[in-house]
C-alpha cells in the first residue's frame, strides 16, 4: 500500500474506470450537453443566439433563477455538488466556464476515489 493509502491495484482500477467514463464525458461532451440544455430551456431551440464564451447574464441568456436551474441540471446530470463558494461567474457564467468547471469537479472526484483505494 502506498503512503496515500491507495493500493496500486485500487489506483489502477479507479484510473481505468475513470478513463472509460471520461472518454465519453470529456470537456467537449460536457460543453455540448450544457449548450443543449441552455438552448432547449431558455432559447426555445434557437442555438445561433449565443457563443460558448458569451456570459449568460450579460447577454440576457438566463437570469439568476435560470442559474439555479442550471446548477440543478449539473448536479443531476454529472453527480456533482456545487458548493456555495463555487457559485462564481468563473464557474457558471458561460458554456465554456461551466464545461471547464464540471470537468475540474469530475477530476477532483477521481483524485478522491484514488485516495480511498
Q: Is residue 3 included in any domain, yes or no?
A: no
Q: Is residue 1 included in any domain, yes or no?
A: no
Residue 18, domain CATH: 1.10.1200.10
Q: Is residue 2 included in any domain, yes or no?
A: no
Specify the pTM: 0.72
Average pLDDT, the chain: 79
**pLDDT of amino acid 27:** 86
Q: Is residue 58 included in any domain, yes or no?
A: yes
**pLDDT of amino acid 6:** 43
Q: Is residue 67 included in any domain, yes or no?
A: yes
**pLDDT of amino acid 84:** 95
**pLDDT of amino acid 70:** 97
**pLDDT tens digits, one per residue of 104-116:** 998 875 554 444 4
Count of the separate structural domains present in the chain: 1
In terms of pLDDT, which residue wins out, 68 or 21? 68
Q: Is residue 77 included in any domain, yes or no?
A: yes
* HEC readout, the chain: CCCCCCCHHHHHHHHHHHHHHHHHCCHHHHHHHHHHHHHHHHCCCCHHHCCCCCCCCCCCCCCHHHHHHHHHHHHHHHCCCCCHHHCCHHHHCCHHHHHHHHHHHHHHHHHHHHHHC
The domain in which residue 41 lies consists of 8-116
**pLDDT tens digits, one per residue of 46-85:** 766 789 999 999 999 999 999 999 999 999 999 999 999 9
Q: Is residue 75 included in any domain, yes or no?
A: yes
Amino acid at each position: 500500500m502506498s503512503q496515500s493509502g491507495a493500493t496500486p491495484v485500487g489506483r489502477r482500477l479507479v484510473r481505468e474506470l475513470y478513463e472509460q467514463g471520461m472518454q465519453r464525458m470529456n470537456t467537449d461532451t460536457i460543453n455540448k450537453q450544457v449548450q443543449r440544455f441552455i438552448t432547449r430551456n431558455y432559447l426555445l431551440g434557437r442555438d445561433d443566439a449565443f457563443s460558448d464564451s458569451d456570459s449568460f447574464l450579460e447577454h440576457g441568456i438566463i437570469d439568476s433563477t435560470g442559474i439555479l436551474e442550471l446548477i440543478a441540471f449539473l448536479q443531476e446530470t454529472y453527480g456533482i455538488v456545487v458548493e456555495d463558494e463555487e457559485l462564481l461567474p468563473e464557474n457558471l457564467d458561460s458554456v465554456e466556464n461551466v464545461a471547464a468547471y464540471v470537468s475540474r469537479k469530475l477530476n477532483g472526484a477521481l483524485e478522491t476515489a484514488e485516495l480511498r483505494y
